[in-house]
Structure formats: C-alpha cells, structure tokens
Amino acid sequence: MAGFGWVLATLIAAAAQTARNATQASLTRAIGTIGATHVRFLFGLPFALVFLALVASLHGQPVPAITLKAFGFTVLGAMSQIAATALMLFLMKSQSFAVTTAWLKTEPVLVALTAAAVLGDPLSLPMLLAIATATAGVVLMSLKPGTSAAMWRDGGPALTGLLAGALFGLSAIGFRGAIVALPTGDFLIRATTILALGLTLQALTLGVWLLAFDRGALVASLRAWRPSLAAGFLGAFASQFWFIGFSLTSAANVRTLALIEVIFAQGVSRLLFRQNVSARQVLGMAIIVLGVGLLLRSQP
C-alpha cells in the first residue's frame, strides 16, 4: 500500500460510502434522521471490532496502546463528525440540497489549510490549486442556474454551511492526528484501532443523547436491525478505507480525492433512477476529474 496506495483506499471508501448512503436513505424515511445517523455508528461498531480482531490476528501485531494524544484527537474527530452532521441536517431544513452541498464541499480547502497548521501536513501551491479546482467542480454541479443568489441572500445559512464544512474537515484532521499519534503498529493496525475507538465514542454519545431526549428514535433504530446491519457494515467498511487513506497521506489529499464520490452518486442516479445528466453537471464532473488529476500530479 505504499506510494499511491491511499488513492486505491480512498476510491474504495468513496464507492462504499455511495452504497451506504443509498442504503441509509430508506432508513431515514423509516426512523428519522437522528435514528438513521445513530444506526451508522451503532451497527457499524461490531464490524469495526471484527476488522480490528482480524487485522491484529492476521498481522500478528498487538493493538497499539491509546495514548492521551491519540485519544484526544479521536474525541475531536468523533464529536466534530456528529456536530457537522447535525448542522448539515439543520441546514437542509431551511435551504435546498444543492445550496447545502455547495457549502459543505468547501471542506477540502479548509482541511488543507487547517491540517497544514495543526498537523504540519505538506501543502504546496500546486496542491492548493488542485484542491480549489476539484471543489469548484462540485460547486458547479450542485448549483442550478439561479440558486447562487440563495447562497448569499442570508448570512446565517452561509455561515452555518461553512461551519458544517469546517467541522467535517476538523473530523478528518482529528482522525488522521489520532492515527499518527499512536506509538506502535503499521498503517493498517493504526487505522483500524482508531476506527474502532471512534465508532465506540460516537455510538455511546448518540445512544446516551437518544436515551435522554428521543427514546422513540432509539427504539425504532433497534427494531430496524436487519436493514441497519447492511448500512452499518457499509459504513464501517467505508470508514475502514477512509482511515487507511488518512494513515498513508495527508487529510487534504484524501478529502479532495473523495470528491469523486459526487460522480459516483451521479452514476447511481443515472443508472438506477434513470435521472438525466445536464450539460452543467457534465462540465462539473470534468472539472472534478481535472482537479483530481492535478492533485495526483502534484504528489512527490
């Protein structure tokens, strides 16, 4: 997995997450957004623990000791991801999906700048140009003609969207920081250890919150255990490869290449739901591919 192994890991993660999102859509309609979000963590945790046991036994490596620094970074990643998801859902109630997506996909730029400052991840001018290009492609795909004004009409949604994107970025930085902070083990055992720890923290946090404030959603998520298992497996599988990517390269590289997920989702919509692709969307996808190409070319 040396060299450009992070590229393969990220592409697998993006494909698995696209499948997870399609699976989770029906759960959201059945048990609500918070319940479906809890399913992602609760039913993904057993699979993450199985992954950890398999990696530890097959590689003959012990699970790395969790240092205070690694634990702190994991808490940062786990809680930022929950908060970002909550802000995203709040924003979608008042804004169109297109406008919300456009704001959220500013994440790679924010990740690159923050990771360079916090983790010391390398950031060159060609990398920054590639990240900005790919991000612009996603924004172009997301915004229909006439919706750009909605992004700026009210400063509140704009700030909320930017904050959600920043928190998603902070989550990626937290998880990468935790993986790097582990004292022993190769990239695979480090990534799998932090995945299991992160899902444990998230499942416990949301479980306690639902128990206190929304027991109906908690009960509904447990009753829908059969479809939830599929969503949980796909979520854990996708996260496993996201974390492998974080263990091999900078968070900015992974989150920028992850924009390819937008193209995967467009393909699913076209093939499964027979939705047409506009010229604007084709141009946006071409710009994303150009940005990804520039990103790979900028790598040492």
Identify the pLDDT of residue 238: 92
Structure tokens at 77: 């990643």
Identify the pLDDT of residue 99: 57
3-class secondary structure per residue, the chain:
CCCCHHHHHHHHHHHHHHHHHHHHHHHHHHHHHHHHHHHHHHCCHHHHHHHHHHHHHHHCCCCCCCCHHHHHHHHHHHHHHHHHHHHHHHHHHHCCHHHHHHHHCCHHHHHHHHHHHHCCCCCCHHHHHHHHHHHHHHHHHHCCCCCHHHHHHCHHHHHHHHHHHHHHHHHHHHHHHHHHHCCCCCHHHHHHHHHHHHHHHHHHHHHHHHHHHCHHHHHHHHHCHHHHHHHHHHHHHHHHHHHHHHHHCCHHHHHHHCCHHHHHHHHHHHHHHCCCCCHHHHHHHHHHHHHHHHHHHCCC
- The model's pLDDT over 38-96, given as tens digits with 9 standing for 90+, comes to 888 999 999 999 999 999 998 888 999 999 999 999 999 999 988 887 777 676 655 55
Domain spans of the chain? 5-123+150-251
Spatial contact of 124 and 296, defined as CB atoms under 8 Å apart: no
Identify the pLDDT of residue 2: 47
Identify the pLDDT of residue 63: 94
Identify the pLDDT of residue 268: 62
Identify the pLDDT of residue 13: 92
pTM for the structure as a whole: 0.83
| Helix pair angle (107-118, 155-181), 10° resolution | 40
Alpha carbons within 13 angstroms on the beta-carbon side of residue 201 total 19
Identify the pLDDT of residue 67: 96
How far is it, in rounded angstroms, from Cα 11 to Cα 131? 16
Identify the pLDDT of residue 274: 60
How far is it, in rounded angstroms, from Cα 224 to Cα 127? 44
Show the low-confidence residues of the chain (pLDDT under 70): 1-3, 22, 24-26, 89, 91-104, 142-158, 265-277, 300
Identify the pLDDT of residue 203: 93
Other C-beta atoms closer than 10 Å to the C-beta of 92 total 15
From the list 187, 184, 225, 198, the residue with the least C-alpha distance to 71 is 198
Identify the pLDDT of residue 73: 97
Identify the pLDDT of residue 286: 82
